[in-house]
Structure 1
Amino acid sequence: MIRAVTFDLDGVYFTEDSFQTFKANFPKNTTDQNLIDHVLSKSDEITQSKQEILTEDQYWNYVRSQLGVSTSNKEISKLLADSYQVNPNVVDIVKKTRNLGVKTCICTNNFPTRINALQDKFHFLDDFDVQIFSYQVNATKPDPKIFQALINQSDCQPNEIVFADDKEANVISAQSLGINAFIYQGFDHFLDKLRSFLLHL
Structure 2
Amino acid sequence: MKKYNIKTLVFDLGGVYFTKGTILAIEKIIDMYEIKNKNRHLLRTFFRDGDKNEGNLVRLGLITMDEFEEKLISKFNIADGNHIRNLWFGSYIPNYKMEALINELGKKYRLVVFSGNIRERIEFLEKRYNFTEKFDDFVYSFDYQKNKNDIEFYRELLNHIDCDPSEAILIDDERKSVIYGQSVGLNSIIYFYTDHLINELKKYEIQIDL
TM-score by length of structure 1 reads 0.86
Aligned to 1:3: 7
- RMSD (CA atoms): 2.1
- Structure number with higher helix proportion: 1
Q: CA deviation at 1:29?
A: 5.0
Q: In the TM superposition, what whole-angstrom CA distance separates every residue of 1:138-171 from its partner, at most 9, and x where no partner exists?
A: 1111322222222212322211210122322211
Aligned to 1:56: 65
Aligned to 1:112: 119
Match for residue 14 of structure 1 among 12, 15, 18: 18
Q: CA deviation at 1:110?
A: 1.1
Could you tell me which runs of 5 or more consecutive residues in structure 1 were left unpaired when the two chains were aligned. none
Q: 1:105 to 1:22 in 2, by over 3 A?
A: same
Identity rate of aligned residues, in percent? 24
Aligned residues, how many? 197
Which structure would you say has the larger RCO, counting Cα contacts within 8 Å and 6 or more residues apart? Answer: 2
Q: CA deviation at 1:21?
A: 3.3
Aligned to 1:128: 135
Secondary structure class of the residue paired with 1:104: strand
Could you tell me which runs of 5 or more consecutive residues in structure 2 were left unpaired when the two chains were aligned. none
Instruction: State how far apart, in whole Å, the 1-side matches of 2:194 and 2:138 are.
Output: 21
Q: CA deviation at 1:118?
A: 0.9
What pairs up with 1:1-201 in 2 under 5 angstroms?
1-16=5-20, 18-26=21-29, 27-28=32-33, 30-32=35-37, 33-41=40-48, 44-69=53-78, 70-72=80-82, 75-100=83-108, 102-201=109-208
Instruction: State how far apart, in whole Å, the 1-side matches of 2:16 and 2:67 are.
Output: 28
Secondary structure class of the residue paired with 1:99: coil
Instruction: State how far apart, in whole Å, the 1-side matches of 2:175 and 2:66 are.
Output: 32
TM-score by length of structure 2 reads 0.83
Q: 1:145 to 1:126 in 2, by over 3 A?
A: same
